[in-house]
Structure 1
Amino acid sequence: MARPRLAVRAAILRGDRLLVVNAYPPEYGSDLWCLPGGGAEAGQSLHENLIREVMEETGLSITVGAIILVNEFKDSKAGFHQVDLIHRATLSEGDGSAMVLADPEGVVDRARWVTRSELAKLHHRPRLLARAVWSDHAAWHDPMEETIW
C-alpha cells in the first residue's frame, strides 16, 4: 500500500447548517457526501491548503479554526490510504449562498447546507462528523475503515 495521502477538510457552519459536498465524481454513481477540502500540497501550511481547496471547490472564502476530527480511510483494492484533518472554519465573506462549483479536478459538482438531522439521513463520512461538528470537543479520531461505495 502507498504512503498515506494527507488531506484537509473544512467544517463550515452557517447557523445550524453544515456545508457538505459530493465525495466522488458523477461517473462513480456514489451518493457519498463529505466536507469540502482535499489533498495538502507540500510547501503550503495546512491552513493555506484548506483555504485554497475550499475556494477551488466552492468559491467560498474561509477563516480556518481548530482541528476537530482526524479521519482515516483506505481502499485496499486500489492501494489508497488517506488521512483527513478536519478543521472548524467560518465564512470570511458573504453568507455562503453564492457558491461557485468549479472544482479543477472535476470531483465536486454538488453542494448543500444540511442540518444535523438532515446529515444523519445522508450517506456521509466520516461517521463521527456530526458529533465533532455539533460539540465543543476538538480532535476526535474516527478509526480507519474501508471505503464504502
Structure 2
Amino acid sequence: MTVDNLWFLADQARQRAEQTYHRLQRTHTDFLEPVHTRHVSRERFRTLASRVKSTGTPYGAHTVVRRDDDEILLVRHEGVDLWVLPGGGVDEGETFRDAARRELDEEAGITATYDGLAMATKVELRCDGHRTWGVMPIYQAHADDDSTPVADDPDGEVSAARWFSVDDIPDDTRDRADLFAWFDSVADE
C-alpha cells in the first residue's frame, strides 16, 4: 500500500507559511493582504508545497516598480501567458527583498530604490482535498532612472518588459485588481 504524504507536506508548508507571514508582519507595516486560491494538479501541488516548505513562498518574491507617479513595470511571462510583476524564486541564503531585486534586474534590467512591502499575498493552494498556503511578498520600489526595460531573463520565461500607465494596465495582467488596490492606497499618500 502506498501512503500519500501530501497531507504531511501540506502541514509542513502551512507551518512555514505562518512563520514567514509573521516575520513579514514584524518587519513591515502598512501593506495590503490580498488572498487568492489556486486549484492545481497533484504534481503542481507537491511542487508548490515543497517551495513553501523551503522558503515560505510558492512563487518567490516580486516587485511593483513605479515611475513618474503613474506608471508601473510589467513583464510578459510566457509560462502563464500573462503580464506579471517582475519576480521569482528565492535562492538559498537570499532575503525576499534581495531575491526581488535580483529578479527585477534579470527580467527587466531595471534598478530601483526599495520603499518597503506593498503586499503580502496569501496564496491558498488546493488539490484533491489537500490544502495549504504560502505568502507571496511584493515589494514596492521607485525606478532609479528613466531606463527602458529590457527582457533578458536567464530562464527564458520573460519575453517582454514595459512600463504601463496605471490607466492602461492590460486586461491579461495577473492579479490586476490587486495592482489597482495598491495604486489607490499609495495615491492617497
Unmatched segments (≥5 aa) in structure 1: 138-149
Using a 3 Å threshold, how does the CA distance of structure 1 residues 67 and 52 change in structure 2: closer, same or farther?
same
**8 A Cα contact 2:77 2:159, kept in partner:** no
**8 A Cα contact 1:11 1:133, kept in partner:** no
Provide the residue aligned with 2:143 in structure 1.
91
- Structure 1 residue 136, shift from structure 2 partner: 3.0
Q: State which of 46, 60, 63 in structure 2 corresponds to 1:7.
A: 60
TM-score computed with the length of structure 1 as normaliser:
0.73
Using a 3 Å threshold, how does the CA distance of structure 1 residues 42 and 135 change in structure 2: closer, same or farther?
same
Q: Residues of 2 paired with 1:73 and 1:116: CA distance? A: 27
Alignment partner of 1:63 is 2:116:
no
1:24 partner amino acid: E
Q: State which of 151, 162, 170 in structure 2 corresponds to 1:101.
A: 151
- Structure 1 residue 18, shift from structure 2 partner: 0.7
2:116 partner amino acid: A
- Structure 1 residue 24, shift from structure 2 partner: 2.6
1:92-130 CA distances to partner (integer Å, 9 max, x unpaired)?
A: 3x3132x221100001111221122211x4211223111
Using a 3 Å threshold, how does the CA distance of structure 1 residues 39 and 118 change in structure 2: closer, same or farther?
same
1:20 partner amino acid: L
Q: Residues of 1 paired with 2:183 and 2:124: CA distance? A: 19
Q: Counting helix residues as a fraction of each chain, which structure ranks higher? A: 2
1:21 partner amino acid: V
**8 A Cα contact 2:150 2:161, kept in partner:** no
Matches within 5 A, 1:42-81: 42-71=92-121, 72=123, 74=125, 76=127
Please give the secondary structure, in 1, of the residue aligned with 2:159.
coil
1:38-87 CA distances to partner (integer Å, 9 max, x unpaired)?
A: 1111201122111111111111112222111123265859xxx7642111
TM-score computed with the length of structure 2 as normaliser:
0.59
Provide the residue aligned with 1:141 in structure 2.
none
Provide the residue aligned with 1:17 in structure 2.
71
Aligned length: 129
The CA RMSD measured in Å over matched residues stands at 2.6
Please give the secondary structure, in 1, of the residue aligned with 2:152.
coil
Indicate the percent of aligned positions where both proteins have the same amino acid. 26
Provide the residue aligned with 2:172 in structure 1.
123
Unmatched segments (≥5 aa) in structure 2: 1-44, 53-57
